[in-house]
């Protein structure tokens, strides 16, 4: 089975850049999407097809994908970015990563 691995937690100071990684075998050959989930809320897609942003998602969120690693980057991190983030890819089925808790200290 295909697995996506994320760090359980990432911490960042307000205004700094946060990077959340997602690793999988030859992940760069697949499209990756990212979802933000705040407590008690449904997931919201923030990045799709590696680097595209849906309308309404701030430009400070960006994505990249190469080799075995996809990365969600949040520039100028704000308190409102504190959330759980999940990566997701397609490998003849839907696969989610285990999630990363982003803490804005």
Binding mask 64-103 vs other proteins (x if CB under 8 A, - otherwise)?
----------------------x-xxx-xxxxxxxx----
Residue 81 phi, psi (nearest 5): -85, -10
Query: Contact between 42 and other proteins (CB under 8 A)?
Result: yes
Q: Please give the structure tokens belonging to residue 88.
A: 């997701």
- Residue spans of beta strands (DSSP E) within the chain: 9-12, 18-23, 32-37, 44-47, 61-66, 69-74, 83-90, 94-96, 100-104
**How far apart are alpha carbons 40 and 52 in whole angstroms?**
26
Stretch that binds other proteins, among 21-29, 38-46, 61-69, 75-83 (CB under 8 A): 38-46
- Of the pair 13, 41, the CB lying nearest other proteins is at 41
Contact residues toward other proteins (CB under 8 A) are 1, 30-31, 33, 35, 37, 42-45, 48-49, 54, 86, 88-90, 92-99
């Amino acid at each position: 089975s295909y697995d996506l691995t994320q760090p359980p937690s990432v911490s960042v100071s307000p205004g700094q850049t946060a990077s959340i990684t997602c690793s999988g075998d030859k992940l760069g050959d697949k499209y990756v999407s990212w979802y933000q989930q705040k407590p008690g809320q449904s997931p919201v897609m923030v990045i799709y097809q590696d680097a595209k942003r849906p309308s309404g998602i701030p430009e400070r969120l960006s994505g990249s994908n190469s080799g075995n690693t996809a990365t969600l980057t949040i520039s100028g991190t704000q308190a409102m970015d504190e959330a759980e983030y999940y990566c997701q890819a397609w490998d003849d089925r839907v696969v989610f990563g285990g999630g990363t808790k982003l803490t804005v200290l």
